[in-house]
Amino acid sequence: MKALLLTADIEDYTVSYANGLAHHLPVVLGVPYRRYASFARWFDPAVDLRLLDWPRHSALSNPRFLFNLTRLIRRERPSVIHLLSNNTLWLNFAAPFWRPIPIITTIHDLSLHPGDVETSLLPRWSKDLIVRQSDHVVVHGEGLRRIALDRYAKPPDRVHVLSHPAIVRYCELARRENLARRPEDGTLRVLMFGRIFAYKGLEQLIRAEAALKDALPEMRLTIAGRGDDPWAFRELMGRPERYDIRRGYIEDKEVAQLFLDADMVVLPYVEASQSGVLNLAAAFGKPVIVTDVGELRASVEPNGIGLVVPPGDPEQLARAIRMLAESATLRDELGANALSWANGPNAPETIGAAAATLYRTVVRSCA
């Protein structure tokens, strides 16, 4: 049994997933050199990493790339091909030539998020077509599975749930670099991290901060990542001077320090399927506040790793922030639960074991 994994994006997810799977069976991973060269050091030596000359979507060299990729697949003769994302275009034209090897595709987001200009650049038909060409589909929760069954009309035994594994490489970086949490100074540090687009609920978080203007004078709110400009909402801010805005790409070492320093991580999303940020926060043992969208409640509540509030409700969000702010005991309890979840049921090795079992089932069903 050997798995060939392919993806052109989602680096942090891919590192965790491939490393976890490699504990259970041989893994060949094909990824673009231009995006993954700097990530090579984070892969387990058991992962057979292939840094490919993978062109951009608009490049004229895509047909040659597909030819070479198909040659690689025929040479490696994997038992299964797993596309770790359906954010693809040209692979649609090569997939028919990979038969009879079973193809699995993971769908991270079943709908386009509002304001997500990056993902919207890829035509919707290309994402749907690769899913329809796949023998099996993977999503990250039971709610998403129901949506996928309805949308793609796949048989129920062809749509599977594999959790998004914990993202642990930033914790490993912190250990390697001997990073430590900043000394306590009475400041309450609230972190919002990731791609800051409309669906991430930035406005709701700022309105919640304004509601806490006098109640939590010691709060410091850090908003870090690519996307919309938080200063566009300056007039809504209660105390602009307590915002720490870091726009654009955040270096890995800085990401690790942000999570080490955070007292809580807030995901005030208006709409979402699941969240890599949640899995990153858990690896650092940080309590979270999430909204009841997508699979967030299903991840947070059963595992006791944070609080859940309604989406688009700044008042409830403010109450949750205040609840955690005023109880170090609750923060410690939720954080400890988060760390146990990230190191146990949601550890990369655990998800890798479930994936290996799935692959064996798929291969047997196609025999």
DSSP secondary structure code for residue 227 in this structure:
B
In contact, 198 and 117? CB cutoff 8 Å: no
| 108 and 215 part of one domain | no
Kindly indicate the confidence band of residue 124, based on its pLDDT and cuts at 50, 70 and 90.
confident
| 250 and 313 part of one domain | yes
- pLDDT greater than 90 at residue 198: no
| 122 and 251 part of one domain | no
Whose structure tokens read 């639960």?
337
| 107 and 182 part of one domain | no
**Number of independent structural domains in the chain:** 2
Kindly indicate the confidence band of residue 114, based on its pLDDT and cuts at 50, 70 and 90.
low
Kindly indicate the confidence band of residue 325, based on its pLDDT and cuts at 50, 70 and 90.
very high
Q: What angle do CA 55, 115, 30 make, to 5 degrees?
A: 25
More confident residue, 328 or 57: 328
- pLDDT greater than 90 at residue 109: no
Task: Output helix, strand, coil percentages for the chain, rounded to the nearest 5.
Answer: 45, 15, 35
Q: Where are the alpha helices (DSSP H) in 106-251?
A: 124-133, 142-152, 169-176, 202-211
pTM of the predicted model, to two decimals? 0.94
pLDDT at 116: 56
| 214 and 323 part of one domain | yes
| 53 and 70 part of one domain | yes
**Domain of 280: which CATH number?**
3.40.50.2000
105 forms beta bridges with 83, 137
Structural domain that includes position 295 = 172-343
| 255 and 289 part of one domain | yes
Kindly indicate the confidence band of residue 123, based on its pLDDT and cuts at 50, 70 and 90.
confident
Distances (CA, A) of 94 to 66, 70, 85, 99, 270: 6, 7, 15, 10, 36
| Burial classification of residue 125, based on how many CB atoms lie within 10 Å of its CB (0-12 exposed, 13-18 middle, 19 or more buried) | exposed
| 157 and 177 part of one domain | no
In contact, 131 and 152? CB cutoff 8 Å: yes
- pLDDT greater than 70 at residue 118: no
DSSP secondary structure code for residue 242 in this structure:
G
| 334 and 190 part of one domain | yes
Distance CA(164)–CA(278), nearest Å, equals 10
In contact, 48 and 76? CB cutoff 8 Å: no
| 200 and 337 part of one domain | yes
227 forms beta bridges with 196
| 134 and 192 part of one domain | no
